[in-house]
Amino acid sequence: MALWTAAEIAAATAGLASTDFAVTGVAFDSREVGPGDLFVALTGESTDGHRFLDQAFAQGAAGAIVSVDTACPHVRVADTFAALNDLGRAARARMSGTVIGVTGSVGKTSAKEALFAALDRSRPDAVHRSVKSYNNHTGVPLSLARMPRDTRIGVFEMGMNHAGELAELTQLVRPHIAIVTAIAPAHTAFFADESAIADAKGEIFRGLEPGGTAIVPYDSPHRDRLLAAAAPYAARTITFGLDKGADVRAIEAMRLPSGASFVTAKLGARELSFTLSQPGMHWVSNALAVLAAVDAAGADLARAGLALAEMGGLQGRGARFLAPVAGGDVLVIDESYNANPASMRATLAVLAEEPGRHVAVLGEMRELGEASDDYHAALAEPILAARVETALLVGEAMAPLAEALEGRTQVMHVADAATALGRLKDLARAGDAVLVKGSNGVGLARVVAGLEGGAIDDRRGRGT
């Protein structure tokens, strides 16, 4: 079944189709275009998608949205970015099922993926979600535009780093269920304080459909602020957390020898016991939010529990693998996608539970504004509590943390990811647990890729 026909694209965007065609996917990055896709030629400050039309069609594109003349099959519009938004709105308008929106300072991508897995277990092939972390002003309409015609449940992640952004995105998504996972210091360079961050996250509730449900973290110090933000728009509000006052709460959360957690959750008068494959109390919180949303959507809670037990680690967000070194392997915990003070503390707590020597490769946390030095230095205590024997710190902003750790554990402060990987080659030993985490712009994914590729397995240099 075609995702979009040329006539439908033209109608949605007020554009003019050059010919009849049909597409099975949508992309705005020419590198991601595959056979049958619609290529949206976005024009930005640094590049122009129209330059890549030949490449997109060489890779199998079936049509394009453009704002200039071209010989390839296309729909011509005045503004391709506006057209992408229009196509997203049209996709949402033709979807008659349940839509769930997810935001939060931490945990939104993880919760979105866990929610997809839980719902897909009940409704296989009927659930659609945002891919990767496509959660901004281009990613959200793209994710909507990719939604198949027969989707019964859509799960969309929404992010922001300025006030007002979520208010716009939620009007595109128009969720029936809206989740805030947590409020924490993130993008603080653009906000006066955490209360302002909570207000910006609370904008997600403004797009709720009539009769909609708001899901709020009970344990958050900003709970009442979020509840107040939801009140004018939500017909029902559900809280989740560890405190006994939460509507959905964990009455037991026990770490298993495998690193997984055994959780008993209480939802009103009901109880559900399940194994949560992902380690850490932050994942217990994510799971409670997921169960609240599954229940609000009328899906099967027991099947959701099975899905949570079987979830694998997400690349850049907790995926684990063994990397070879002389004499054996090291455990790598890949948290390289992003970082803020709250997520740093959470993943260091996970590292603390691992056997063996602990090595932390930590990249600087960005967009923290004037308090950046304090936020970085404050990681010293969580690092020591995690029994980190060597802290390999990456980036200029890590200087205050390096100073705070001096004389308390081994510290190596380097400029970039490539240097960090080189230091690991001399540092790592069989049996180590290595945590890799930092803001995405630091590029620690290259360290993870190097570890996966065996870059630290210099057996000859180690005399083996």
Contact between 155 and 116 under an 8 Å Cβ cutoff? The reply is: yes
Q: Cα–Cα distance between 104 and 338 in angstroms, integer?
A: 14
Cβ pair 90, 12 in contact under 8 A: yes
Percent composition of the chain: helix, strand, coil (DSSP 3-state, to 5): 40, 25, 35
Give the C-alpha separation, 406 to 236, whole Å. Answer: 51
Distance CA 227, CA 246 (A): 13
* Residue 20 CA to its chain's centroid (Å): 37
Look up residue 186 and give its amino acid. Answer: A
CB 14 within 8 A of CB 85: no
**What is the separation of C-alpha 39 from the centre of its chain, rounded to a whole number of angstroms?**
24
In the structure encoding, which two tokens stand for residue 44, read together? Answer: 């930005």
Smallest Cα–Cα separation from 103: which of 157, 177, 32?
Answer: 157
Strand-pair partners of 361? 392, 436
What 3-state class would DSSP assign to 228?
A: helix
Write down how long the chain is. 464
Burial 76-92 (b: 16+ CB within 10 A, else e): bbeebbebbbbbbbbbb
Q: Is 104 annotated as a binding residue?
A: yes
- Return phi, psi of residue 356, to 5°: 85, -175
Query: Dihedral sign, CA of 140, 145, 146, 148?
Result: positive
Assess contact for 326 and 457: CB atoms under 8 A: yes
Q: What beta strand segments (E) does 377-445 contain? A: 388-394, 410-414, 433-437
Among 365, 355, 357, 358, which residue's Cα sits nearest to residue 383?
358
Using CA atoms, how far residue 300 sits from 119, 120, 215, 280, in Å, is 8, 10, 18, 24
Asked if residue 109 belongs to a known ligand binding site, the reply is: yes
φ/ψ (deg, to 5) at 411: -125, 135
Nearest to 434 by CA among 462, 392, 376, 385: 392
Q: Which residues are annotated as a binding site?
A: 104-110
Q: Which residues are annotated as a binding site for ATP?
A: 104-110
